[in-house]
Amino acid sequence: MDRFAGRGGKSIADYNAYRVTGARSSTATFTKINTAPIASVTFTDASVAPSAYCYYVTASLNGIESVPSNQAAAAILVLPPGYKNSFRPCALIPGRQPQD
Residues of the chain where predicted confidence (pLDDT) is lower than 50: 1-3, 92-93, 96-98, 100
Q: Which residues of 7-38 are buried (b: 16+ CB within 10 A; e: fewer)?
A: eeeeeeebbbbbbbeeeeeeeeeeeebeeeeb
Task: Flag whether 46 is in a domain.
Answer: yes
Q: Quick count: other Cβ atoms within 10 Å of Cβ 43?
A: 14
Question: What is residue 93's DSSP assignment?
Answer: P
Predicted local confidence at residue 7, as pLDDT:
52
Task: Flag whether 13 is in a domain.
Answer: yes
- Asked if 36 contacts 74 with a C-beta cutoff of 8 angstroms, the reply is no
Task: Flag whether 72 is in a domain.
Answer: yes
State the total domains in the chain: 1
Task: Flag whether 95 is in a domain.
Answer: no
Structural domain boundaries, residue 70: 7-76
**Which run of H or E residues covers position 31?**
strand 31-32
Predicted local confidence at residue 63, as pLDDT:
80
Predicted local confidence at residue 2, as pLDDT:
45
Task: Flag whether 88 is in a domain.
Answer: no
